[in-house]
């Protein structure tokens, strides 16, 4: 088929022949040319005008007539503006200068390829574009800058999207005469495109990725089955960081359900984490059983008066009573927080409840007194009875959290995993196995937490928690653990919280990529810190982690 008709459309557009362009477009349609071909011809005419303007200059009335011819041609095609799915919605906006011709070309090409275009305007503020993105529920935003002096607005747009809690849900594209790949990289824009063809190609790729994107819940549950989801999940073990980020005093964060939820939801929406984690502090469980807990205004609570003395442990234990979990102080608030969060997020994101494992729980009740070890060794049967009782308490807490809406139960057992394999097998193995089995029977995933240098006991998780997960610290070799636990226990970890607190975002991203290459293949891996996300972790470093997951963490792992 001759391209003569398309050439006539291009020429008519370039010359601003708005009276005959509609006839030419309809004729081309009858002759079998696709909408994409016709729009390309119309775009070529308008692009020719833009080039002439830049090189030779043009009269304003001629430019307006060409733009008018383009619009008449587009209208003659009858492109549909019917609402689309969020991943087929794209917001356009030009910052720091008018660029309506470019916007018109881009808009027409996107519409011809099935996108719904929301034009935020030309020479508009980053705040305006970000607000349009949020209100429209669009998943792609393509911004352009016309003048180099406006480059600061690129960074501002990224920050505005982040502040509105939508940045982690969308993909961003930068274009325009003053843009560049280096500028996009500097300000964390997902891609830079030099022309409409590149923009269209990138938008299609992002639209497909977004359509295939799993919910956080599905992503986590696929991974724990040792299958590959769309990308590796990021699991937050975050207490002080979350409270600081949400500007909530830690004492309020860990004692009021509403504040607990407020902090978790704010961080989740800002960063796009793959879980909400309702872990607070070790004092919450000991306090529920009667231990005295010191409670600073904006610091971590600590057990200051234990209830099990190392010399009279069994006698003290016999005075313990199983608490009413509806009247257990901060522990009750923690359970209530899970219920409130579940109502807000539903099945979009998994919720992690938290308990202490039997050995660590009893250790805390005795004030973590090292002398207790002698009582344990001299009164084996009595100590095992205490552990069994605490395991019952742990299971009751897990049941209450399940009823509230938890999907995963974290089990703090660092103290147990620090012990020798012989000690672990004698005292810790059976209580942990019983607790994990009960958690699974309820329909939740048990997540064992152990920080520090604990490789000597990691292998026990295959026996106590098959099909569950374990979080361990950066001191444990990840490659060794992946080979050891492959297809049996999911690994959560093991980013170095000390290193990442002082590193720059580029170093953080590189370290995450190394971890992903080691452990992500085949599923069964949740990227996370080996212990709590540090309170002082720079926000930009957390953003770098989440950006890396969308590239290096995307399956199949490259």
Please check whether residue 371 lies inside any domain of the structure. Answer: yes
Q: Are residues 227 and 204 in the same domain?
A: no
Q: Are residues 284 and 402 in the same domain?
A: yes
Q: Are residues 122 and 155 in the same domain?
A: yes
Q: Region 164-170: what's the mean pLDDT?
A: 90
CB 178 within 8 A of CB 146: yes
Give 544's pLDDT tier (boundaries 50, 70, 90).
very high
Q: Are residues 145 and 118 in the same domain?
A: yes
> What is the model's pLDDT at position 104?
74
Residue 49 pLDDT > 80: no
Q: Are residues 9 and 53 in the same domain?
A: yes
- Tens digit of each residue's pLDDT (9 = 90 or more) over 260-278: 999 999 999 999 999 999 9
Last residue within a domain, chosen from 171, 190, 212: 212
- The runs of H, that is alpha helices, within 225-350 are 240-245, 250-253, 257-271, 283-288, 313-317, 330-345
- Tens digit of each residue's pLDDT (9 = 90 or more) over 108-132: 778 877 888 899 988 889 999 999 9
Q: Are residues 195 and 332 in the same domain?
A: no
Distance (Å, whole) CA 225 – CA 7? 57
At CA 447, angle to CA 444 and CA 448, rounded to 5? 145
Please check whether residue 150 lies inside any domain of the structure. Answer: yes
> What is the model's pLDDT at position 100?
63
Please check whether residue 88 lies inside any domain of the structure. Answer: yes
Q: Region 27-40: what's the mean pLDDT?
A: 87
Q: Are residues 394 and 448 in the same domain?
A: yes
> What is the model's pLDDT at position 58?
58
CATH of the domain at 544: 3.20.20.210
> What is the model's pLDDT at position 2?
45
Please check whether residue 452 lies inside any domain of the structure. Answer: yes
Q: Are residues 240 and 204 in the same domain?
A: no
CB 217 within 8 A of CB 407: yes
Q: Are residues 67 and 187 in the same domain?
A: yes
Last residue within a domain, chosen from 212, 228, 246: 212
CATH of the domain at 170: 3.40.50.280
- Tens digit of each residue's pLDDT (9 = 90 or more) over 467-493: 999 999 999 999 999 999 999 999 998
Please check whether residue 444 lies inside any domain of the structure. Answer: yes
Structurally, how many domains does the chain consist of?
Answer: 2
Last residue within a domain, chosen from 212, 237, 270: 212
Q: Region 192-209: what's the mean pLDDT?
A: 91
Please check whether residue 369 lies inside any domain of the structure. Answer: yes
Please check whether residue 495 lies inside any domain of the structure. Answer: yes
> What is the model's pLDDT at position 450?
93
In sign, the C-alpha dihedral spanning 246, 251, 256, 257 is positive
- Tens digit of each residue's pLDDT (9 = 90 or more) over 328-350: 999 999 999 999 999 999 999 99
Q: Are residues 91 and 116 in the same domain?
A: yes
Distance (Å, whole) CA 525 – CA 492? 6
> What is the model's pLDDT at position 532?
93
CA 283 to chain centre: 29
Give 1's pLDDT tier (boundaries 50, 70, 90).
very low
Distance (Å, whole) CA 4 – CA 12? 12
Residue 75 pLDDT > 90: no
Please check whether residue 554 lies inside any domain of the structure. Answer: no
Q: Are residues 207 and 226 in the same domain?
A: no
Give 97's pLDDT tier (boundaries 50, 70, 90).
low
Distance (Å, whole) CA 165 – CA 249? 22
Q: Are residues 378 and 321 in the same domain?
A: yes
Q: In terms of residue numbers, what domain contains 202?
A: 4-212
Highest-confidence segment of 144-148, 295-299, 430-434: 430-434
């Amino acid at each position: 088929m001759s391209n003569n008709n398309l050439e006539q459309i291009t020429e008519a557009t370039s010359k601003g022949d708005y009276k005959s362009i509609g006839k030419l477009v309809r004729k081309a349609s009858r002759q079998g040319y696709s909408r994409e071909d016709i729009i390309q011809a119309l775009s070529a005419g308008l692009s020719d005008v833009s080039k002439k303007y830049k090189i030779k200059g043009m009269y304003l009335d001629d430019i307006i007539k060409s733009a008018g011819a383009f619009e008449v041609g587009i209208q003659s095609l009858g492109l549909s503006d019917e609402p689309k799915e969020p991943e087929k919605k794209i917001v356009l906006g030009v910052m720091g200068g008018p660029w309506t011709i470019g916007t018109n070309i881009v808009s027409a090409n996107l519409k011809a390829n099935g996108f719904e275009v929301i034009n935020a305007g030309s020479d508009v503020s980053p705040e305006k574009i970000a607000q349009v993105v949020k209100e429209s529920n669009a998943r792609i935003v393509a911004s352009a800058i016309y003048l180099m002096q406006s480059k600061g607005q690129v960074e501002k747009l990224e920050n505005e999207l982040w502040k509105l809690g939508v940045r982690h849900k969308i993909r961003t594209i930068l274009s325009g005469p003053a843009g560049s790949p280096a500028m996009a990289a500097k300000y964390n824009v997902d891609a830079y495109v030099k022309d409409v063809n590149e923009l269209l190609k990138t938008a299609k790729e992002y639209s497909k990725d977004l359509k295939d994107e799993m919910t956080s819940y599905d992503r986590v549950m696929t991974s724990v089955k040792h299958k590959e989801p769309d990308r590796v999940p990021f699991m937050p073990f975050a207490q002080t960081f979350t409270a600081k980020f949400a500007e909530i005093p830690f004492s309020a964060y860990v004692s009021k359900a509403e504040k607990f939820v407020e902090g978790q939801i704010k961080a989740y929406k800002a960063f796009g984490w793959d879980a909400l984690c309702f872990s607070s502090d070790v004092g919450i469980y000991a306090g529920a059983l009667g231990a005295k807990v010191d409670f600073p205004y904006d610091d971590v609570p600590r057990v200051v008066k234990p209830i099990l003395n190392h010399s009279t442990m069994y006698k003290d234990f016999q005075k313990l009573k199983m608490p009413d979990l509806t009247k257990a102080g901060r522990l009750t608030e923690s359970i209530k927080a899970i219920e409130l969060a579940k109502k807000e997020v539903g099945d979009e994101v998994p919720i992690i409840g938290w308990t202490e494992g039997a050995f660590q729980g009893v250790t805390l009740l005795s004030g973590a007194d090292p002398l207790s070890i002698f009582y344990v060794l001299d009164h084996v049967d009595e100590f095992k009875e205490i552990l069994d009782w605490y395991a019952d308490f742990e299971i009751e807490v897990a049941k209450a959290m399940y009823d509230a809406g938890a999907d995963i139960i974290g089990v703090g057992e660092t103290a147990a995993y620090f012990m020798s394999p012989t000690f672990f097998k004698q005292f810790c193995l059976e209580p942990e196995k019983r607790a994990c089995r009960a958690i699974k029977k309820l329909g939740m995933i048990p997540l064992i937490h152990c920080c520090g240098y604990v490789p000597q006991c990691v292998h026990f998780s295959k026996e106590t928690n098959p099909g569950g997960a374990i979080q361990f610290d950066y001191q444990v070799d990840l490659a060794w653990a992946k080979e050891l636990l492959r297809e049996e226990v999911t690994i959560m970890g093991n980013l170095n919280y000390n290193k990442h607190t002082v590193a720059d975002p580029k170093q953080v991203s590189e370290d995450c990529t190394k971890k992903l290459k080691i452990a992500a293949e085949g599923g069964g891996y949740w990227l996370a810190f080996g212990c709590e996300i540090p309170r002082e972790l720079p926000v930009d470093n957390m953003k770098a982690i989440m950006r890396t997951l969308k590239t290096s963490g995307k399956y199949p792992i490259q």
